[in-house]
Structure 1
Amino acid sequence: MVNLLMGASVVAATPAFGQAPSRPPCREVGDVVSATGEPNFIRIEPARAADLAQIGLDRAEIFERMRGTSIPETMGCWAMPVGNFDGQLISVGMSQWNYGTGSLQPLLVAWRESFRSRRRFKRALQSLAPTYGKLLFSKDCQKVPVDDRCRDGILAAHENGRINATLATELTALFESDPMLQVQTDAYVALLGEVRAEVLRLFPAMPITPRKVRWAIDTRVQQKSFPKDEDVARVRAKLSVMGEEERRARLHAMLDWYRGLSQSADQDGVAKDWAWNVDRWGCLIDTGRVDPEQVDLLHLTFLRSRTATGNSGRWQALTFSRRAKIVLGVGSVSGVRDGDCVRPAVAT
């Protein structure tokens, strides 16, 4: 995430992507060269590009945002499939599309239809996924939700709670193929179109900053929907009548919620992060380095994080961690820390 804070108490970001926890070699997300050496082969429709330019997203920035989305999802890879650890059966691709929410099925259909010939499709499928391709593209696995025969087949391909090596290899080959890179980009650009509409709704007559766009993208990717107008208006009305000290106290109360939630029995994904986050975010609050836009975005984050319902709220603290890191430019997610905050030395 980009460090958007300024001031002496904020130092340069620490681990960059290349210093993230190790992962197997992969085809990395970006405006890549095709398998045959063709540059800029991934297409973005001109009309879509013109709409996204209104919120500051040109071609380079679109791929940068795709990469930013992929880092917490797949450590920057186009594929990195995982199994049923979170009840989604299979999650794969730079945005971790999955069977559980029904987001994976349309990508598989789009990939199949991109060949425009059943013979070409079958040839590609035999090359990339000879063992599990027939199952992945079966009618049972294209339904939302998937049928029992699809679920049983996928679960049978799990070993010790993880998808077996053959299925993982075939999904990786499929999602790293040139046609699927185009499909993933099309899906992500469509998602950005939804983000554009929501950004314009949530921030009318306000500057559309890169911070707001990054926050909105992560919200849409992870939680699909945004706060409703009436909830946003209620929170902003309360904040508008608060003085600086009261707003600071409310931010600390939000941190108390996050701290308690993170230590509860049924929260996952934050064990390496929450204590560092509480300390650094508290430092930013105490030293007056949270600006009005950040205050607003943190409260919008709180609105959605406290209503995250996946696995009965199991990921609420993680959703808050991800968005707060984007908002503040300082934070730890999955053990990867960016930025810092140093409290002024106390004179003796």
Structure 2
Amino acid sequence: GFTKCQCTSHELFKITMFNHAISLFEKASSTRPTALMKRPSSFNGQEVGILLNAMHAFQYENRRLIELVLSHIDRWLSGYSTTEVLTTLWGIARVRKMIHEDSHADFEKVVTTLYDRIEFSGLGGRALGTIALSYGSIGVNNDRVVENIRKILETHPEQIEMKYLSIILTMMYSQQIPNFDSVLTDAISKMSLNANTAHVNALARILHLAKTCSIPVPPAQVEAICALVEILFPKIKAFELSHILVALKSFSLSKLAVESLDQYANIYVKQILNNVTRSTLERFVEYFCFSKGATGETLQCMLAELTNLPHSTEKHADWLTNTCSSLAISYPQCTSVCEYQKLQDKLRTFKARIT
């Protein structure tokens, strides 16, 4: 059957591994419960992780199998390498919802032991990102994990690629780690802004966190972030750019930085403003009302998008009215633009219909 489906050798390996693992475990659970008492030569932590990932991918829910896997990990993990520990943790995170409340104590014990086995020195960004993602999904608190990640972020966040840095910071924020603001301040103040390793979505997330937590970013770093954004402009999607611009707005930008950003924003915004969501458009309007640097063409694009938005409820109509007022205050000239008139007509018609 595999000749017809577009299946890569890696996927085929995973499916084969999954079938092999399930037959091994199910045989052990029914006929020969002692089969798992000896260390299986072909069933290490890496393969346990693959099995759990496959159970998640195929939505194969089998409580007995998960209990067996947990006891198997518990029995053999003293010999696991750090890579095996991380693969297993990620696998456990994937099947977290399949773990029954009855086996929660065993589950917590296994997870805690796995966390204790992690050797943090020398771990790269990808490994730390895996730990952070697993930690966020598993939901078993562990001070050692948090403190080690905190230490790394305080001492050398510039060594962690932006993609993984954003995953780690998002996890710490969502887990409400104490003193998160100071960790975030350190990370953003020192993070690497190399355009070759920068990641647009990660940058948008990190800047959004900084805005949410109102952290102070050193002026020199703000300038460096603006310069990076200018290099990345062609790669940035509309919703990412809207988050980035609104976050930068909150960093008390210099007049020069705003003018420079606007030069790029005016070129790219009109290319990407097409059927965007209401919240994305709202952020663009907020930024340009602050910068007052939108060209006539950019204004026209924003007004056209505002006109295209459905405003089926009174709340939407009120939002649109306020948005128009903000634009008219920042750009008095926009009230004579044809799109602005169209928008006002649309609003008048809607209001007449609901009164």
- TM-score, normalising length from structure 2? 0.21
Instruction: Give the number of the structure whose residues are more often strand, by fraction.
Output: 1
- Structure possessing the higher radius of gyration over alpha carbons: 2
- TM-score, normalising length from structure 1? 0.22
Instruction: Give the number of the structure whose residues are more often helix, by fraction.
Output: 2
